Structure 1
């Protein structure tokens, strides 16, 4: 049996930091949309829901990847990293929409 060293722990901590950052962005986005004047409740709720779904997606992906490392299985990078990149790009689009909606 091989010693994986600290790689699983480092990976878990990195994904945890990423998900905490995404949660902070989601909460701030929800607050900005729900308190912005002129933004209706339905668009605000949709934007806030999109931000929270992105956070949940990153949380699930990070937990799956860290669990695979702890189990000694090589993590399947086929879908995890592209999905994480897609969620991050989604956050960039969401930020642009938030700026346009809240300031416009």
Structure 2
């Protein structure tokens, strides 16, 4: 009995990570737009571009590996991507708080 669809699961995971990264980019651009100083805007843009770029790169590299690991019955958890997305989200939240208090 096959418990997973060999093509759909890795594709759904890759699309989910792409949507998450896009949401972080939009939030970062909002921080850039609302920044009280040019330095703050540059900091927000740097955090967003770096985090989103790393996340997109990891998602693309992991996509093919994940499919092979699923077919082999190996675990496919990717805690580094989760940690990276969490760090970018927390950084954007902190930048937003700094902008709100400034």
Same fold? TM cut 0.5 = yes
Q: 1:96 & 1:65 partners in 2: Cα distance?
A: 33
Q: Aligned-pair RMSD on alpha carbons?
A: 2.4
Out of 58, 61, 71, the position equivalent to 1:61 is 58
Unaligned runs of 5+ in 2: 70-74
In structure 1, the gaps of 5 or more residues are none
**1:66 positional shift:** 2.1
Give the count of matched residue pairs: 94
Give, in angstroms, the shift of residue 24 of structure 1: 0.9
Deviation at 1:76, TM superposition (A): 5.5
Helix, strand or coil: the match of 2:6?
Answer: coil
What is the Cα deviation at residue 61 of structure 1? 2.8
TM-score by length of 2: 0.69
Q: Specify the alignment match of 2:29 in structure 1.
A: 27
The two structures have a TM-score, normalised by structure 1, of 0.68
* Structure 1 residue 88, shift from structure 2 partner: 2.2
Alpha-carbon spacing, 1:62–1:97, altered in 2? closer, same or farther (3 Å):
farther
